[in-house]
Amino acid sequence: MQLYNTLSARERAALIEKAGKDRLTLSFYKYAKIANPQEFRDQLFITCNALDVLGRIYVAHEGVNGQLSLPADRFNAFKTHLDTIDFLKGIRLNIAIEQDNMSFLKLKIKVRHKIVADGLNDDTFDVTNKGIHVDAETFNNFIEDKKTVLVDMRNHYESEIGHFKNAVTPDVDTFRESLDIIEDDLKNHKEDKNLVMYCTGGIRCEKASAYFKHKGFKNVYQLEGGIIEYTRQVKDKQLENKFIGKNFVFDERRAEKITNDVIAQCHQCGNPFDVHTNCANNACHLLFIQCETCKTEMNNCCSAACKHIHALPFEEQKAIRKGQGNSNDIFKKGRADHLPYKKDLRNIFETLKTDKNKK
């Protein structure tokens, strides 16, 4: 039996268009003990493939993490299947704020060492001793509390286009980097501050909250369901929305608009803009923010060098790439030195340190 995707993105897009069905984009995660991740992965693939589920799902001994799209009329069938799996029964499915039938165009279910690359040795602390989950209303109250340190557990390119009021946004490329930075900068506030965290859907905070409790933080809280669930609750309960801008997502949509505020800028000209794109030069593929004017002028490329290569015939581009790996800039997510308006590095807890020095 074939247990992998066989269609190209273009072929799948054509099938979705032809089917004419509305699709739902959603995400879910669960930390649990999975004895045989490969077997679990294969069985999940069979079910997902039969239900026309597309997306990216990671399976590991520590659990499962998925972002996916499926026909709206098959949502209940998918939920019913998850309910047959003991540790997934009744799991919350985070429905996307904005829907797009083309959010995912392939089904990829992979066995990984971790469902989130956190770089931690889980045997060194109790991963089940997590922080207190709070709903949107309680979270809003924490934001206004002077004893709260509100931390965005996402990477810099995510928080650059949207974040919560009063949040510190670690200027990091990876989740793992932020853990040590936060611990070091808050080492003198482990008892007198409320450490309140949030992320896209909650999964990063699950592990981070347990880690920080292990490190001695006494008052650790996390936003239940992340930004996605917060936005739903704000709408349903008519609460004040304290999120500003867009929520970055890891699919073809790239982001969901939470408010009309544009808090980022084009990395090439500096004008207000908050839409990410990938450099059209396949040897680069850098993720960065580019306004429509610069996109036209630069032919969707991040530099003059990439624009020159992208304009060459395809076979010449292939010859240039032959034997060469991708540029390291691909991992910088908008930090490449040739982008004049890339996000500047800064000390994320500068205010806290300044206040401490005044005492």
Catalytically annotated residues: 199
Q: If you ran DSSP here, which 8-state letter would residue 212 be given?
A: H
C-alpha span between 96 and 154 (Å, rounded): 18
Residue whose pair of structure tokens reads 């790996």 in the numeric block: 325
* Residue 90, φ and ψ in degrees, nearest 5: 75, 10
State the CB neighbour count (10 A cutoff) for residue 203. Answer: 22
Nearest to 25 by CA among 76, 94, 81: 94
Q: If you ran DSSP here, which 8-state letter would residue 41 be given?
A: H
* Residue 87, φ and ψ in degrees, nearest 5: -80, -5
C-alpha span between 192 and 196 (Å, rounded): 13
Question: What are the C-alpha distances in Å from 103 to residues 57, 250, 254, 256, 339?
Answer: 14, 9, 9, 11, 28
C-alpha span between 21 and 70 (Å, rounded): 10
Q: Which two tokens stand for residue 151?
A: 């931390």
3-state helix, strand, coil in the chain (%, to 5): 35, 20, 45
* Residue 56, φ and ψ in degrees, nearest 5: -130, 120
One-character DSSP codes across 51-77: TT-EEEEEEETTEEEEEEEEEGGGHHH
C-alpha span between 155 and 249 (Å, rounded): 12
